[in-house]
Amino acid sequence: MITSPSSVRRSERSRRATLDAALELCTEKGYGRVTVEAIAARAGVSKKTIYRWWPSKGAVMLEAFAEAFVGATPFVDTGDIAADLRTHINAAVKVVSTPPYGPAYAGILSEMHHDDDLARAVLEQLVGPRVEAAVGRLRRAQEQGQVPAGADLPLAVEMLYGPVYYRHVLRRPAQDEATVAALVSHVLRSLVTGDDAAPAGTRDDAPAQG
């Protein structure tokens, strides 16, 4: 099982050198060609040191990516949920579509399909906490009356993130700011609950009867 490396037992200089080396090599060689031996040589640390702190290459890459992703995509609260979501999603798009982080995350997503420990770590260390933070931001907007009271917030998060990772995994062009704005607008409009929606035939845009 992958566990978080102990920050007490390791040198911050060596940790930073290892993470940077892993990202550099991933960009230069591609995720599949990177080895722990190569990371150790580039970082100037021993292979034994790396395995003392991380159980696999994937764990090193995950920590490097997660640290950068979380730092670049905070959930700010300016009081405008649409603007804040646009800011957040645009930042996420930039991280996953730009070297060195994009290639590293693509490799992690591929490897986790045949590495159960890495898959668990991705969920526990990255996906789970980010979904929780996103739901928390939407809940604050809900309390401010910007999101309907009965909205399914976890589903809203999947709708926001899904297109970003769909394009990343299939290597399609990343969303531009206009596409992200349209996505956020669409998701927020879709959060109208059954109780909030007008009955069929009573909407302002319903065809006139006669």
Per-residue pLDDT tens digits for 96-137? 999 999 999 999 999 999 999 999 999 999 999 999 999 999
Q: How many CA atoms lie within 13 A of 6 on its CB side?
A: 6
Q: How many CA atoms lie within 13 A of 37 on its CB side?
A: 1
List helix spans (H) across the chain: 12-29, 36-43, 47-53, 57-72, 81-96, 101-111, 116-122, 128-143, 153-169, 177-190
d(C-alpha 136, C-alpha 173), whole Å: 29
- Mean residue pLDDT of the chain comes to 88
187: helix, coil or strand? helix
Q: Report how far apart, in Å, the C-alpha atoms of 153 and of each of 88, 134, 135, 138 are.
A: 16, 9, 6, 7
pLDDT > 70 in the chain, percent: 87
Residues with pLDDT less than 50, the chain? 1-8, 194-210
Instruction: Quote the pTM value.
Output: 0.82
Query: For residue 21, how many other CB atoms are within 10 A of its CB?
Result: 22
Say if residues 56 and 115 touch (Cβ distance below 8 Å). yes
Q: What is the pLDDT of residue 169?
A: 86
Tokens for 26, please give them. Answer: 């991933």
